[in-house]
A and B are shown apart, each in its own frame.
Chain A
Amino acid sequence: MSEPLLPPIGMLAELTHRCPLQCPYCSNPLELLKANRELDTQTWLDLFSQAADLGVLQVHLSGGEPTLRRDLEQLIAGLSARGVYTNLITAGINIAEGRIEAFAEAGLDHLQLSFQGARPATTDRIGNHSGSHEKKLETARRGRAAGLPLTINAPIHRHNIEEVPEFIDLALSLDAERLEIANVQYAGWALANRNALMPERAAVERQAEIVAAAQERLAGIINIDFVPPDYFAVYPKPCMGGWARDAFMVTPDGTVLPCHAAQTIPSLRFERFGERSLAEIWTNSPAFNAYRGTEWMQEPCRSCERREIDWGGCRCQAMAIAGDAAATDPVCIKSPIHARMAMLIDETRRASADSAADEPFIYRRIGAVTELA
C-alpha cells in the first residue's frame, strides 16, 4: 500500500435495475437483476447506517430507476437523519403526484435528472420511450417548485453530440444550477453498443470547444461539468478517483463493488452486504485490495509520474481492451497498445459507412443479452 487506507466519502446505491427507459449505454451490467433480488427496506437502512459510521458523506441514489422503489422516501429519511448528503439520480418519468415533494420533505438534498436528448424526438428514441421528454420537463419543474436544486445530466454519443448547445439552453431554461455533459463510458451496455454510439473525431473536437466557451461565459450562472470521451484522450480518467480509494457502489442485491463494471473482471470475487459488514468489505475484501494504491501496477504505470493522478485509469477498460485488468488503461498514450484506441474509433466509422443506416441499438432490457447470445 502506497498510502494509508482512508474512509470512503461517496457511495452509489443502485436500488433497483428496473427502469422504464432502455438507454443503449446504460452503466448497469448486461445481466440485470429482477425485482425479487432487491434488498428490502431494512437492509438498505442498515447498510446506509454502516456507511455513515464508516465515513460516507454522500450517497447517490440511483438504479435503474430509483423512484420505482416505493420505500424511497424512507431511505432518504434514514440517510438524512444521519446527516448524509443525498442525491437522487432519476430518469424523471412516471413519478406519482406528491412524491417529489415527499422526497424533499424527507430531506433530499439534490435532484439529478437525465435527458437523453435536448430535443424530444432524440430523448424518446434513445430511451425507447415515447413522450418521455415531456415528462422529464415536468419533473424538472416539480423539483424546482419543491425547492430542490437541480442537475441536468446529458449522456453524450454520436446521436446527440450536435445537441450540446441545446442541452446548455435546456439546463438554463429549467433553472438547473449544474449541467453534466458526460460522454458515455464504453462499459456495460455502451460497450455492447459501441459501434452505434461512437462519435466522429471532428464532432468531439467541436464539442470540447463549445463546452469550454460555455463554461467561461456562464461562470457564476451554471456549473458545467464535462466528461470527455476517453477513447479520444491522451491520458486516462482517474476512474472512481482510484480503485476503492474513496468511493464504492452497491448493486440492487447488496453486492459491494469498487465501480460499475467491476464484475467484468473474471478473477475477482465480490462480497454481499450481510455476509460481512460494510467496514470489513471496504477494508479486507481481496477484490477491493486488488488494485488499491500503486503496488499492483505494471510498467509503464509503476514508474510513471502520473501514477497518483490517473491511478492507472480504468481497470475494466484495461480488461476489456488489453485483456488484463492490471495493465495500463489503453487510453493512456504510454500504453503499448494505445494505437488500438484509434483503430476502435476507425472501426466504428467503417461499420457505419458500410451500412446505409446507422447500426441499430441493442436496447437495455432484461433478457436482451440472452437474445444476443
Chain B
Amino acid sequence: MMALRERAIVSLRSVPSLPRHVRMQYDPVRQGFAVLSPEKVFWPNDISLDILRRCDGRSSVSHIIAGLAADYDAEQEAVAADVIAFLQEWSDKLLVKL
C-alpha cells in the first residue's frame, strides 16, 4: 500500500498548479473561460481567472500576490488574504495542486 496523501495547506512558499484532471480553456460558444474537471464545469470570475492563470507550477504564492497587487493597484495584505483563501478552497476540492 502506498503512502496516503495529506491535505495541503497554502503557504507563501507554495507553488500552485492545475492538476492533470483539471483544465482551463476558452469556450468560443459561450465566450468565456471554463475550468473543466471530471464531473463539473466551473465559470470563474475575472479575479479568480487571474489567480488561476498564475498557477503555472513555477510561481510561488508570494510572487502571485505581488503580481496581482501590482496589476490591481491594491494593498498586498488584502490581496494576500483573498488569494490564500481562494487557493485553499480550490486545493481542498483538489482543483489546484500545491
Chain A positions near chain B (C-beta within 8 angstroms): 7, 9-10, 53-55, 57-58, 83, 85, 87, 109-110, 112, 147-149, 151, 172-173, 175, 177-178, 219-223, 225
Contacts and interface: CB of A to CB of B under 8 A. Distances in A.
Contacts of B6: 221
B41 interface: yes
A110 B38 contact: yes
A57 B19 contact: no
A220 B2 CA distance: 18
Nearest to A149: B21
Contacts of B5: 175, 221-222
Contacts of A221: 4-7
A58 B92 contact: no
B42 to A, nearest CB: 11
B25 A178 contact: no
Given A178-B94, A219-B92, A220-B8, A225 B39 contact: yes
A178 B34 contact: no
B2 to A, nearest CB: 6
A85 B23 contact: yes
Given A10-B41, A109-B36, A222-B5, 12 more contacts: A57-B27, A83-B25, A85-B36, A87-B39, A109-B23, A149-B20, A173-B1, A177-B19, A219-B92, A220-B7, A220-B92, A221-B6
Q: Chain B: interface residue count, which band? A: 20 to 34
A285 B23 CA distance: 32
Interface string B1-35: 11011111000000000011101010101100010
Q: Which 9 A-B pairs have the closest CB atoms?
A: A149-B21, A220-B7, A55-B29, A85-B36, A220-B92, A110-B38, A219-B92, A221-B5, A177-B94
B91 interface: yes
A12 to B, nearest CB: 11
A7 B91 contact: no
Nearest to B95: A223
Contact of A87 (B8, B29, B30, B38): B38
Nearest to B34: A57
B20 A55 contact: no
Contacts of B8: 220
